Amino acid sequence: MGRKPRHEEERVANRIELLRSQAGLSRQELADRVGVHYQTIGYLERDEYSPSLVLALKIAAALGHPVEEVFNLEKGE
């Protein structure tokens, strides 16, 4: 019952970039709304960072979508 290899681990995927552009928001604008740096939005959009639950909820609220529409759990290979 050891830890799964990294490529088999579940990861949090998101649709921030798509929903942000649909909402007509720049990264900076979204970042200002949720109180993070604009670079952090970039890391999230490129799936380089999984947000905390608080930040995920803030982003979902800022984009006007339920959190499960913005974020989902992706199975590893």
Partner 1 sequence: MSSATDKIDDLSKQLEEKIERGVINWVNNDHFFDFLRNTPARWMLALIAVGTLYGYGVYAWITEGVTGYIYPVLIFGAVLLQKLSVRFAFDDDSTIDEYQHTRRNRAYRRAYKRSGWVLALVLGLMLVRSWEWTTSMTAQNMFWPLPNGALNFNCSIEQAVIGLEFLIGHFVIQKYLSWGMRGERN
21 interacts with partner 1 by CB under 8 A: no
58 vs 63 by CB, closer to partner 1: 58
Residues 25, 9: Cα–Cα separation, whole Å: 32
49 interacts with partner 1 by CB under 8 A: yes
- Here the tokens at position 37 are 């740096």
- Helix or strand or coil: residue 72? strand
Q: Which residues, in sequence order, are bridge partners of residue 14?
A: 71
40 interacts with partner 1 by CB under 8 A: yes
Binding site for partner 1 (CB under 8 A): 35-37, 39-40, 42-44, 46, 49, 51-52, 54-55
